[in-house]
C-alpha cells in the first residue's frame, strides 16, 4: 500500500512522516510504503511515472498549485479509488474539499491521535473494498466495484459508467459481468440492458431511475414495482446498520 505525503513546510512534512511511519511499524501486515514530497509538482511527476498512491496526505496551501487541484488529478487517474486526507491551517477550503469526497479534512495543529484515527478508518475501508478485472481491448483494468455507477449494453459491448464520470468499454457480456458482482449488495439488474448501483440513484421516478449524475435509466413497465421495492429494501437495510 503506497502512502504519499505532500507539504511544503519541512517541519510539518517530517511530523506527518513520523506519525505514519510509527503507524506502519505497529501494523507490519499492511506493507505500507511512504513517499514524501515538499514540492507538489514532484509528486505529480512521480504519479505520472509510477501511478497514483493508495492514500494521499495533502496540504492545501502549496507553491504553484493548491492541494485541491492535486486531489482532482489523483482522482482523475485513480477512478476515485485513492483515499485523500487534507491537513491544512485553514477551514477555508473545507466545503470544496468535501465536495471532492475526500476522506477527512484536518486543521493544523492536529493531534497524533486524530491523524491515526483517520488513517485507521481509511485503511479499514480499503480492506473492505472489492475489485474486479475488466478487459478493455489489450488491457485489463482493476476497478473498485463501488466506483461503478451503472453498466449499459450498447452496440454489442458494455459501457461501464464510473462515479468519476469516466466510462470503460468492454466486450464482456452483461451476464459475465453480473457474475463478478455476485454477493455485492446494492447492484440490481434493470431489464436486459442495465446493472445499476443503487447507491448512485438520486430519485426513483415513475418510469426511470435518476442517477446522481443527472442521467436517467429507463425501467421497463413490468419491473417498476420490483425495482422500487429493491431500492426501498436496500436503503432500509443500510439505515439499520448505522
228, pLDDT greater than 90: yes
The residue among 75, 59, 74 whose CA lies nearest residue 15 is 59
Which residues 6+ apart lie within 8 Å of 231 measured at CB?
198, 201, 204, 209
**What local confidence, expressed as pLDDT, does residue 239 receive?**
60
108, pLDDT greater than 70: yes
Domain ranges of the chain: 2-127, 131-241
How does pLDDT run across 46-102, given as a tens digit for each residue?
999 988 899 999 999 888 998 999 998 998 887 667 899 999 887 787 777 777 778
Q: Is the pTM for the entire model greater than 0.85?
A: no
Fold of the CATH domain 2-127: Rossmann fold (3.40.50)
Q: Count how many Cα atoms sit within 13 Å of the Cα of residue 154 in the half-sphere of its side chain.
A: 11
Radius of gyration of the chain from its Cα atoms, rounded to whole angstroms: 20
How does pLDDT run across 153-209, given as a tens digit for each residue?
998 899 999 987 889 999 988 888 888 887 788 899 999 999 999 989 989 999 999
**What local confidence, expressed as pLDDT, does residue 242 receive?**
45
What burial class does residue 223 get, using C-beta atoms within 10 Å of its C-beta: 0-12 exposed, 13-18 middle, 19+ buried? middle
241, pLDDT greater than 60: no
Comparing 22-26, 83-87, 232-236, which segment has the lowest mean pLDDT?
232-236
**What local confidence, expressed as pLDDT, does residue 85 receive?**
94
**What local confidence, expressed as pLDDT, does residue 3 receive?**
95
**What local confidence, expressed as pLDDT, does residue 80 receive?**
65
CATH C-level class of 131-241: mainly beta
**What local confidence, expressed as pLDDT, does residue 198 receive?**
92
C-alpha cell of 47?
504519479
* Position 128 confidence tier, pLDDT thresholds 50, 70, 90: confident
Counting residues of the chain whose pLDDT is more than 70, the rounded percentage is 97
Amino acid at each position: 500500500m503506497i502512502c504519499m505525503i505532500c507539504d511544503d513546510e519541512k517541519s510539518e512534512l517530517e511530523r506527518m512522516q513520523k506519525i505514519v511511519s510509527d503507524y506502519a511499524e505497529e501494523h507490519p501486515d499492511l506493507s505500507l510504503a511512504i513517499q514524501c514530497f515538499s514540492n507538489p509538482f514532484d509528486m505529480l511527476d512521480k504519479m505520472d511515472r509510477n501511478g497514483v498512491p493508495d492514500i494521499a496526505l495533502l496540504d492545501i496551501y502549496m507553491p504553484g498549485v493548491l492541494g485541491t487541484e492535486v486531489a482532482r488529478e489523483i482522482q482523475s487517474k485513480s477512478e476515485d479509488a485513492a483515499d485523500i486526507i487534507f491537513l491544512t491551517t485553514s477551514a477555508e477550503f473545507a466545503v470544496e474539499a468535501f465536495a471532492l469526497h475526500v476522506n477527512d479534512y484536518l486543521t493544523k495543529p492536529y493531534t497524533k491521535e486524530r491523524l491515526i484515527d483517520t488513517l485507521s478508518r481509511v485503511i479499514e475501508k480499503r480492506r473492505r473494498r472489492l475489485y474486479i478485472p475488466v478487459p478493455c481491448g489489450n488491457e485489463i483494468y482493476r476497478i473498485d466495484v463501488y466506483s461503478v455507477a451503472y453498466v449499459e449494453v450498447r452496440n454489442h459491448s458494455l459501457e461501464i459508467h464510473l462515479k468519476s464520470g469516466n466510462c470503460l468499454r468492454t466486450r464482456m457480456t452483461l451476464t459475465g459481468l453480473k457474475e463478478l458482482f455476485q454477493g455485492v449488495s446494492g447492484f440490481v439488474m434493470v431489464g436486459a440492458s442495465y446493472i445499476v448501483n443503487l447507491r448512485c440513484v438520486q430519485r426513483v421516478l415513475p418510469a426511470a431511475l435518476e442517477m446522481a449524475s443527472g442521467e436517467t435509466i429507463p425501467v421497463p413497465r413490468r419491473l417498476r414495482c420490483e425495482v422500487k421495492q429493491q431500492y426501498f429494501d436496500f436503503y432500509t437495510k443500510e439505515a439499520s446498520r448505522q
